[in-house]
Amino acid sequence: MLLAALVLVGCSDLPLLGGENAESRQVIELIGYAQAAAALPAEEQQRELNASNQVFSRNRGIFWRVKLAVLLSLPGTAFNDDARAASLLEPLASANGIPPGPMRQFAGLLYTQVNERLREQRRTAQLKEQLDALKAIERTIIQRGEGRPK
């Protein structure tokens, strides 16, 4: 994976999408970064998150916002926070005053995926609550049946 990330970053010098070269390179860099970060050991992932949080607290630019959201949305990490990732991406996805371009498109794609995971998590929690309620009803029925004379 790391090799693929390096290849993607290396290809960032190629002209892409006309006049949007710099932004296209940043998107390619973020994709490679996501792949590389996902392959890191947990301790190094945490260091990356801490560093990204620090940079974002000083520089709230679009690139740093998306980079932090990419880290927060990595599945299988101890710090996965889809809700925070979605809140970081929402202003970009809604496009209020931000010109269309590769970074906004990437942010919109990531926002859609993160929101879908959040919907699935809410649905899973809702189904679990319903199942627990049915189990409680079943226990009540069993208890009532045991208390009746035969």
Query: For residue range 126-145, what is the model confidence (pLDDT) as tens digits?
Result: 999 999 999 999 999 999 88
To the nearest 10°, report the CA torsion of 113, 118, 121, 126.
-130
Checking 108-112 for CB contacts under 8 A at 24+ apart, the result is: 110/66, 110/69, 110/70, 110/73, 110/85, 111/86
Domain range for 9 is 2-147
Share of the chain above pLDDT 90, in %: 73
Q: Enter the pTM of the model.
A: 0.74
User: What single-letter DSSP state applies at residue 14?
Assistant: S
Please choose, from the candidates 90, 135, 125, 83, the residue with its C-alpha nearest in 3D space to the C-alpha of residue 108: 90
Arithmetic mean of pLDDT, 112-116: 96
More confident residue, 97 or 78: 78
> Which distant-in-sequence residues (6+ apart) come within 8 Å of 92 by Cβ?
62, 65, 66, 98, 103, 104, 107, 108, 111
Provide the domain count of the chain: 1
Measured between alpha carbons, how far is residue 47 from residues 15, 18, 40, 71, 135 in Å?
A: 33, 36, 10, 11, 43
pLDDT of 10 strictly over 70: no
Whole-number mean pLDDT of the chain? 86
Q: How far apart are CA 106 and CA 103, in angstroms?
A: 5
Arithmetic mean of pLDDT, 9-33: 71
More confident residue, 148 or 137: 137
Q: What is the pLDDT of residue 53?
A: 97
Q: What is the pLDDT of residue 13?
A: 41
Arithmetic mean of pLDDT, 60-79: 95
Please choose, from the candidates 127, 82, 108, 88, the residue with its C-alpha nearest in 3D space to the C-alpha of residue 27: 108
Q: How far apart are CA 56 and CA 68, in angstroms?
A: 7
